[in-house]
Every structure is written in structure tokens, then in C-alpha cells.
Amino acid sequence: MILDLLFPNRCLGCNRIIDADLLVCELCFQQIDFTHFNYFDDHFIKEKCRLLFPVAHTFALMQFKKENLSRKIIHELKYKSREKAGKILAEWTSERLEFKDEKPDLLISVPLHPKKLKERGYNQLHIFTEQLSEFYEIPFDHHLIKRNYYSKAQALKDKQHRLETENTFSITRAISGKHVLIIDDVFTTGNTLATIAWEILNAGNNKVSVLVIAADI
């Protein structure tokens, strides 16, 4: 209570004091660039993914543009230890994503290298994934895919380095006959998702779908 008085929670959009469990105020919430993509429809994300790997379905919650509010929200999630942001983003996703009769068998998120995990203190996608798992009653596995190399933040890499993802990830156990939903925070080139997808596809008779919190479109 004292900390709330000394350091009140403020809206990421307008800096107004807001409830401790919120990211933005009601007015700024209306300014968020939600994509309104349908999981089953053809759209930009699915078209980009299909150029790189066979994908069943795709979904992006928000648009990721220069200086927009979704960029600030992702930054809070990734770099400022705002773990509650993962729960709120999962709630927003559950209000907009319907799997119908094609619910995935397993949820996985893009892993951090152990060194990066130690530096950051948590994987920003774990809480998001776990909240979705609880809501949709789909199991998750944080260890199916491992990151083989430590590297600097994706946001700090130039375009050429972003393309150099070969052998970055590997699969840790046998898996076959499963529909796996791969979860990432921001979709840019799609190469990270492609590398993970091929590990899963090559492991057995599996199929993959993609969910990203924001897409650079």
C-alpha cells in the first residue's frame, strides 16, 4: 500500500495514475492498434509464414509500429520486468482468439538462452503462455525447444543478423502427431519462428500454428 502511494502505477499511454492491475487507462486502451485478425483466415502473417514453413493458422494481437502504444506495452513486457503485462496481454488475447474445434495440442514459447534468462530474471513469454494454457485448457512445455546460442537482443541486431538463425534452436525430445502453437512476442521477419517450426515439423507428423503478441506490419 505504501509503495502504491509512493510509486503509483501510471498509464503507459498518457501517464495518468491507474489501478495497479492495469497497463493503460480506458481512454488509451481505445488507441491500441489491435489487428482484428481471424485465426483461421488468410492475412499478412499467414502469408509471410507460408513463404518460410507450412503453417496451419496464425494470429497476431496487436500491430507493432514506430511509437505506437503496442510498442510501449511490449517494451514493458520484455525489458522492465513487468510480469503482470503477460497476464493482461493473455487476457486481451483470450477475448479475441477462438480456436473453435481446432484447438492446438501444445503451447510453446520462443525460449531464451539460459544466460539471457539469468540476466533478465524471467522469460517474458512464460507467464503469457501459462495464462493462455489455463484459459484454453491446453498444456504448455517450456523445455521442448532450447536456444543453443547466446545472442544480443533481437531489437539491437541489424537485418542481416536477424536472418542468421540457422541452428539457433533444437528440439529436446521426440514429438509426433501433435498440433503445436508457437508463441512469440513480436513478428518481424518470421525467421525465428521458421527455425523453431522446422524443428517441430521434422521431428514427426506434426503441424504448427503461430501466435504473436504484436506484428510489425
pLDDT digits (tens, 9 = 90+) for 141-178: 999 999 988 765 554 445 545 445 567 899 999 999 99
Residue percentage of the chain with pLDDT more than 90: 65
| Residue from 66, 96, 52 nearest 198 by CA | 52
Q: Are residues 98 and 37 in the same domain?
A: yes
The residue range of the domain holding 21 is 1-31
pTM of the full structure: 0.88
Report how far residue 181's alpha carbon sits from residue 18's, in angstroms, rounded to the nearest whole number. 33
Residue that wins the pLDDT comparison between 28 and 80: 28
Number of domains, the chain = 2
In terms of domains, do 7 and 71 share one? no
Each residue's pLDDT tens digit, 187-201: 999 999 999 999 999
Is the confidence at residue 81, as pLDDT, over 60? no
The model's pLDDT over 13-37, given as tens digits with 9 standing for 90+, comes to 999 999 988 999 999 999 999 999 9
- Verify that 103 and 44 share a domain, yes or no: yes
Q: Residues near 180 by Cβ (< 8 Å), separated by ≥ 6?
A: 104, 105, 106, 107, 108, 144, 200, 206, 207, 208, 209
Residues 6 and 70 in one domain: no
- pLDDT confidence tier of residue 6, bands split at 50, 70 and 90: low
What would the mean pLDDT of 123-141 be, rounded to a whole number? 94
54-68: pLDDT as tens digits: 999 999 999 998 778
Are 74 and 165 within one domain? yes
Higher-confidence residue: 59 or 86? 59
Check whether residue 94 and residue 168 sit in a common domain: yes
Q: Work out the mean pLDDT of the chain and round it to a whole number.
A: 87
Give yes or no: residues 114 and 168 share one domain: yes
pLDDT(217) > 50: yes
Between strands 106-109 and 145-147, the pairing is: unpaired
pLDDT at 85: 87
pLDDT score for 77: 82
Percentage of the chain exceeding pLDDT 70: 84
CA dist 36 and 76 (Å) reads: 22
- Please check whether residues 211 and 112 belong to one and the same domain: yes
Strand partners, 140: 107
| Statement: residue 3 has pLDDT above 50 | no
